[in-house]
Amino acid sequence: MPKKIIKRFLPNAKKIREHKHLQIFGKLIHEPNLWHLNRRSVSGAFSVGLFMAFVPVPFQMVLAAAAAILLRVNLPISVALVWITNPITMPAIFYGSYKFGAWALNSPVKEVEFELTVEWLVTQLDDIWAPFLLGCFLIGLFFAITSNLVIRWFWRSHVMKDWQERRRRRKKKQQGC
């Protein structure tokens, strides 16, 4: 079953419930449906987590948790998938999003040299904010939809394979009697 595969990689539910940033949701995170593993909740969690991973704001985990609670999808998967954009992958992912947004807007890609200063952020962000945000939105939407469809297909094919195997064993057992 897909549940067995997913459970191996899920973080501890108690740890997530006690996470300091998720305490703002209070008793909402104790809703049992947020912890179930079924085709709808897992595929929805992938959509939420991957979309929120492309939202260029701090505390993406909190946004993913809020969306998971609102949409009643698996909370741990939603929160965990946000970490696809981490300090190591973030520059490449966001630069790619900017380039895609510039392509979508048919505007030239501006070569910028990154500096970790407020002055750089204010001056450069004025030039690149529209393609950057559009690229983040479009790529996040693409991955949300694609992951939802792929997870649903994978889940269904896995269940169908299990049914066929069960049917084969029953036939074999009936023939042996």
Q: Residues 133, 56, 146, 68: what is their CA dihedral angle, to the nearest 10 degrees?
A: -130
The highest-confidence range among 46-55, 74-83, 100-109, 162-171, by mean pLDDT, is: 46-55
How high is the pLDDT of residue 29? 75
How high is the pLDDT of residue 17? 65
DSSP 94-133: HHHHHHHHHHHTT-PPPP-----SHHHHHHHHHHHHHHHH
- Please give the model's pTM, rounded to 2 decimal places: 0.78
Mean pLDDT of 123-132: 82
**Is residue 15 predicted with pLDDT exceeding 60?**
yes
Using one digit for the tens of pLDDT, what is the confidence trace for 47-93? 999 999 999 888 898 899 999 999 999 988 999 999 999 889 988 89
* Count of the separate structural domains present in the chain: 1
Instruction: Domain of residue 125: give its range.
Output: 2-176
